[in-house]
Amino acid sequence: MSGAALLALVRRTFADARGRNIGFALLFALVAYAQPAAYRSDYPTLRDRLGFVHAFAGNASLRLFYGRPVDLLSVGGYSAWRVGGILAIFAAVWGMLAAARALRAEEDSGRTEILAAGPVSRARLFAASVCGCLGGVLVLWVALLAGLLAGGLPAGGSAYLALATVVPALVFLALGALACQLGSSRRVALELTGAALVVALLLRVVADTTTSLGWLRWLTPLGWSEELRAFAGPQAWVIALPAVVSLACLLGAARLWLGRDVGRGLIGAREVAPVRLSGLSSPTALALREERWSLGGWLLGSGSFAFIIGLISTSISSAGISSSLRRQLKALGGASITKPAGYIGLSFLFFVLAFSLFACSQVAAARHEEAQERLDVILALPVSRARWLVGRLGLAVGGLLALSLAAGLLAWVGADVQHAGISLATMIEAGLNCAPVAILFLSFAALAYALVPRASTAVAFSVVSVTFVWQLLSSIVGAPSWLRELSPFEHVGLVPAQPLKGGAAAAMLGLAVLVGAAAVWVFTRRDLVGA
């Protein structure tokens, strides 16, 4: 196989992921720019920064989101905490998705078997896929570096912070490559890597919110990202840990790939299994049967996080909150984060984001069913296209309502343990308040699926990410109200600190019905599109 052919395969892998790479890169660049700029504006003097450190450095609720701060008196140290803490998690998610798409989705679609049957060795095919993904890591690093430089941080420290932030992407790319050899399908590979990510995040949370278990930070790639300590006494030698683990996982994945059959996995699907007729009564029931583990994971994760937020809702102090930060919080909805209701209301804005991403993932699952040509079999039965898509959208809506209720209920349990004085009915309302925006994004994702099926997943996730980041940035840059209102997140009342915006919720649900109906209409009139 010539070098030109190998390079063509690398370019193909890189091009296939361009939508996801662009979406994540925009998110990374915007967050990297906004944090140092906001810190300079909110805390311009040493006195202001000392007050901030006194109020927030040891706050468990902020460590839950951003990790352990090291130096909050400098713009660089603050940026390393706020940018690196949250974007390291997004980088890990990117690595997980990139590996599954490049290594397992191609195999599930049958294209890998065709390439392997030609003059392409399996070793070079694996190398080309990994190199294409590494190009995506480079895109994330460049986007982060550009955002940090635009935010006024020095070039050397910015490059190091960008590297520390994308380290989890490398590790979870390698773990994902290994999971692709273990699992018998892309779904199984994602579930295995997702479980590893949940464990890594829980280890970081425990390490960052306790004093006696800080050593757990050395057991998780997210902890290694923290221990690199950009702008705060850098420990460059720590980069050896993710480098060694990533290389070992990639070598192990390559060895397994060379020794297994295409389309199989070490944890392969059983050739013979007991007959299970449950979930075969309709296409929607079958979809629920296929998605039950994914929905269970979302319920467990979001419910646990909601419980923790309720548990720490009484820990915020009013000291150190600058007047400019108060103005920004007011622009975000006027809730006071020093009160339990205000803190929970503001935190639930992130649940709106998470549930919107869940909605996009449900449409992505429907697209995967079509790409793998399983939908052809279903539609060969007396099942109309409209019935199938409406059933999938209805299943997603049901999942969103279950997630919303679970979040509200478990947040109330956590808050009640701390005697926060928030009623169960109010917290159920706060949970359901997350659903209208998520359902609206579900309808737009469905429309993208109907119009541009191959690009629909990237379009859906990008729209959610960009509108959420715009919601956060627009208040900082002082954008006109009509521009802020372009984001659906702007129309979410911060329940329980504020009353539910019933009119806005009804309008979003009504628009969702119209857009969803348009998506069904378009879908019934287009051809099915393979991978």
**Within a domain: 451:** no
Q: Evaluate whether residue 364 is within a structural domain.
A: no
Nearest to 88 by CA among 171, 20, 17, 26: 171
- CA 483 to chain CA centroid, nearest Å: 25
For residue 37, being part of any structural domain is answered with: yes
* Residues of the chain above pLDDT 90, percent: 32
Determine the pLDDT at residue 60.
Answer: 63
The predicted pLDDT at position 320 comes to: 46
Tell me the DSSP string of 27-52: HHHHHHHHHHHHHHHH--SHHHHHHH
Please check whether residue 344 lies inside any domain of the structure. no
Examine residue 483 and state whether it is found in any structural domain, yes or no: no
User: Quick one: CA dihedral 197, 202, 204, 205, positive or negative?
Assistant: positive
CA torsion, ordered 23, 368, 108, 358, to nearest 10 deg: 60
| Domain assignment of residue 183, yes or no | yes
Residue 319: per-residue pLDDT: 43
Confidence of residue 121 (pLDDT cuts 50, 70, 90): confident
Instruction: Answer yes or no: are the C-beta atoms of 170 and 148 closer than 8 Å.
Output: no
Q: What does the alpha-carbon distance between residue 238 and residue 197 come to, in Å, rounded to a whole number? A: 20
Q: Quick check: 148 pLDDT over 90?
A: yes
Residue 276 or residue 95, greater confidence: 95
- Of residues 449 and 257, the one with the higher pLDDT is 449
Cα–Cα distance, 503 to 436 (Å, whole number): 11
| Helices and strands (H and E) in the chain: how many | 23, 0
How many Å apart are CA 23 and CA 424, to the nearest integer? 37
Q: Tokens for 322?
A: 């600058």
Q: Are 497 and 345 in contact (CB under 8 A)?
A: yes
Higher pLDDT, 300 or 329: 300
Evaluate whether residue 13 is within a structural domain.
yes
Q: Is there a cis peptide before residue 44, judged by omega within 30 degrees of 0?
A: no
**Residue 189 structural domain:** 1-266
Examine residue 100 and state whether it is found in any structural domain, yes or no: yes
Q: Which residue has the tokens 């600058």?
A: 322
Q: How many domains does the chain have?
A: 1
**Interval 421-476: pLDDT, tens:** 889 999 999 999 999 999 999 999 999 999 998 888 878 888 888 888 777 767 66
Asked if 337 contacts 346 with a C-beta cutoff of 8 angstroms, the reply is yes
Q: Which residue has the higher pLDDT, 337 or 227?
A: 227
SS3 per residue for 318-329: CCCCCHHHHHHH
